């Protein structure tokens, strides 16, 4: 399909000549003689021009005024202005309005062609970018957070509320693989900064010096190897979000510089003279207990309090095993798609193994396990033997250790009373291999009472 070019030119001879010239070069040309017709064509959305080539002065007005008026509707088109008597003021205004270029009559057709080709490339790049950002926005909607336990529903509600307010900083804490990175992306892409960049930096991945130059940027010659000026991540994230992952690993010196930047909303590139204003929202994540790091003198308490204006604790998967009901099918579907499989039958014993496992690597571990199983499946049955969940081989967490003879229950309001009851029943049934007599004995109750509750919560047991 040809790309669309809109020509706005009132001189009939020139207009026709231009239209013929560009049609020969495979453009789908629309020619209008005045701004009113151009506006009607653009707002009817019958065409979506990649490039607009417009005369400056038209019988019904000035094309720059026109661009200013309809700018919001045509942000993915590039504009080139052609004029008989261009003035410097006009060209400055054209650039300010985001026009691609400005050319005086009479113009050489080949030069004009080069300009139009350049403008087309630029518009295509812009369209690709906005398409990508749209895809990210779709990918990181609030529904990307799967799980229907009341803990996850509360978490989703909190994320949704936070995304509505213009917070300046937030700390997300939680064990590895619980979804901190995913939540940071959801917060950015569903918030008011979604159209600006989200810049991610893993503070544990770089040595201190490199981390500093990455964050703040540098001027040419600031240090050996600094050949060219480099804009740091703070600048790149301007008007958007800076996601500082594993912030607990950041060196104390650098923490001081970070605090200054966050408080002053200004940074200075390494080797730079002047300060640069920045407008960034900071999301920091850590799987370390930051308040304990503060007590140990490993994390600055003032930075901690400055960033901790809002905080979000992401619970481990073992605190919300009910989410498995949605996570497992979601990961199976995703991997079916990726590897062209059709796994859909999960046996009861596979479910039971997954429910009784403690998932020290949380949702990342679950997602990897499911990926392996789907990849190795030979038919539509979920291959249970590929689960390979050995509780012993994974380092037991504090909670798991406590839970060997009893049950670990988070008492932070994240489980409702009913969920606690269901969770206890499920855990006991898992441990007794769903044997009602043994489970009733463990809970000091009768088989009848237990059966009633098993039915109430729609659990499974052997009669």
Closest CA to 271 of 320, 318, 229: 229
Q: Which is nearer to ligand ATP, 34 or 326 (CB)?
A: 326
**Residue number of the CB atom closest to Mg ion:** 181
Q: Does residue number 197 form part of the binding site for Mg ion (CB under 5 A)? A: no
Q: Which is nearer to ligand ATP, 147 or 360 (CB)?
A: 147
Q: Which is nearer to Mg ion, 181 or 271 (CB)?
A: 181
Applying CB under 6 A, among 180, 300, 321, 341 the residue interacting with ligand ATP is 180
Q: Does residue number 15 form part of the binding site for ligand ATP (CB under 6 A)? A: no
Q: Which is nearer to ligand ATP, 156 or 422 (CB)?
A: 156
Number of residues binding to Mg ion, judged by CB under 5 A: 1
d(CA 353, CA 73): 55
Applying CB under 6 A, among 30, 169, 178, 190 the residue interacting with ligand ATP is 178
By CB under 6 A, the residues from 287 to 326 that bind ligand ATP are 287
Q: Does residue number 204 form part of the binding site for Mg ion (CB under 5 A)? A: no
d(CA 338, CA 333): 9
Least distance (Å) from Mg ion to the CB of residue 182?
A: 8
Q: Does residue number 201 form part of the binding site for ligand ATP (CB under 6 A)? A: no
Applying CB under 6 A, among 15, 49, 177, 191 the residue interacting with ligand ATP is 177
Helical packing angle, 447-456 and 436-443, nearest 10°: 100
Residue 233: contacted member of Mg ion, ligand ATP, none (CB under 5 to 8 Å, by partner type): none
Q: Does residue number 176 form part of the binding site for ligand ATP (CB under 6 A)? A: yes
Least distance (Å) from Mg ion to the CB of residue 27?
A: 47
Q: Which range of residues in 141-149, 251-259, 266-274, 379-387 is near ligand ATP by CB under 6 A? A: 141-149
Q: Does residue number 364 form part of the binding site for Mg ion (CB under 5 A)? A: no
Q: Half-sphere exposure (CA, 13 Å, Cβ side) for 281?
A: 26
Applying CB under 6 A, among 42, 50, 81, 147 the residue interacting with ligand ATP is 147
Asked if residues 355 and 366 have their Cβ atoms less than 8 Å apart, the reply is no
d(CA 361, CA 363): 7
By CB under 5 A, the residues from 169 to 188 that bind Mg ion are 181
Burial class (CB in 10 A: 0-12, 13-18, 19+), 389: middle
d(CA 352, CA 435): 13
Q: Which range of residues in 83-91, 144-152, 233-241, 407-415 is near ligand ATP by CB under 6 A? A: 144-152
Asked if residues 284 and 241 have their Cβ atoms less than 8 Å apart, the reply is no
Query: x/- string (CB under 6 A) for ligand ATP, residues 355-374?
Result: --------xx--x-------
Query: Reduced to 3 states, what is the DSSP secondary structure of residue 29?
Result: strand
Closest CA to 66 of 92, 44, 101, 38: 38
d(CA 209, CA 254): 9
Least distance (Å) from ligand ATP to the CB of residue 202?
A: 8
Phi, psi of 82 (to 5 degrees): -120, 130
Per-residue DSSP letter, 53: E
58 contacts: CB under 8 Å, gap ≥ 6: 8, 10, 33, 34, 35, 66
Q: Which is nearer to ligand ATP, 9 or 200 (CB)?
A: 200
Asked if residues 145 and 179 have their Cβ atoms less than 8 Å apart, the reply is yes
Tokens of 375: 């990849």
Q: Which is nearer to ligand ATP, 86 or 329 (CB)?
A: 329
- The binding site for ligand ATP (CB under 6 A) comprises 145-147, 174, 176-182, 287, 363-364, 367
């Amino acid at each position: 399909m040809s790309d669309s070019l809109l020509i706005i030119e009132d001189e009939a001879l020139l207009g026709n000549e231009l239209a013929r010239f560009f049609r020969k070069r495979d453009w789908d040309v629309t020619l209008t003689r005045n701004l009113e017709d151009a506006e009607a064509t653009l707002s009817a959305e019958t065409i979506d021009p990649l490039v607009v080539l417009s005369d400056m002065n038209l019988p019904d007005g000035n094309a720059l005024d026109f661009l200013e008026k309809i700018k919001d509707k045509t942000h993915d088109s590039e504009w080139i202005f052609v004029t008989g008597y261009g003035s410097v003021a006009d060209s400055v205004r054209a650039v300010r309005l985001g026009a691609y270029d400005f050319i005086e009559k009479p113009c050489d057709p080949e030069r004009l062609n080069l300009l139009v080709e350049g403008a087309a490339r630029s518009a295509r790049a812009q369209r690709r970018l906005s398409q990508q950002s749209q895809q990210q926005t779709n990918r990181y909607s609030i529904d990307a957070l799967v799980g229907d336990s009341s803990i996850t529903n509360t978490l989703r509600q909190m994320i949704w509320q936070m995304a509505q307010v213009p917070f300046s900083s937030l700390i997300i804490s939680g064990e590895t693989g619980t979804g901190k990175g995913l939540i940071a992306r959801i917060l950015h892409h569903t918030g008011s900064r979604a159209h600006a960049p989200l810049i991610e930096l893993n503070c544990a991945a770089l040595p201190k010096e490199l981390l500093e130059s990455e964050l703040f940027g540098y001027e040419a010659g600031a240090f050996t190897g600094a050949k060219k000026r480099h804009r740091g991540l703070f600048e790149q994230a301007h008007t958007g979000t800076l996601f500082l992952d594993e912030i607990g690993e950041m060196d104390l010196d650098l923490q001081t510089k970070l605090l200054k930047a966050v408080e002053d909303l200004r940074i200075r590139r390494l080797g730079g003279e002047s300060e640069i204003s920045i407008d960034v929202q900071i999301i920091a994540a850590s799987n370390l207990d930051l308040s304990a790091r503060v007590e140990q003198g490993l994390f600055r308490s003032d930075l901690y309090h400055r960033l901790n204006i809002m905080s979000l604790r992401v619970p481990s998967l073992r605190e919300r095993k009910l989410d498995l009901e949605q996570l497992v099918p979601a990961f199976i579907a995703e991997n079916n798609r990726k590897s062209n499989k059709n796994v859909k039958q999960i046996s009861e014993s596979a479910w039971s193994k997954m429910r009784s496992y403690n998932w020290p690597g949380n949702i990342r571990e679950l997602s990897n396990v499911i990926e392996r199983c789907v990849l190795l499946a030979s038919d539509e049955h979920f291959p249970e033997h590929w689960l390979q969940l050995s509780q012993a081989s994974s380092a037991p967490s504090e909670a798991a250790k406590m839970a060997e003879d009893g049950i670990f229950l988070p008492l932070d309001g994240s489980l409702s009373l009913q969920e606690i009851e269901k969770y206890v029943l499920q855990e006991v049934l898992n441990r007794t291999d769903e044997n009602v007599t043994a489970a009733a004995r463990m809970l000091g109750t009768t088989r009848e009472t237990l059966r009633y509750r098993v039915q109430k919560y729609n659990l499974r047991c052997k009669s």
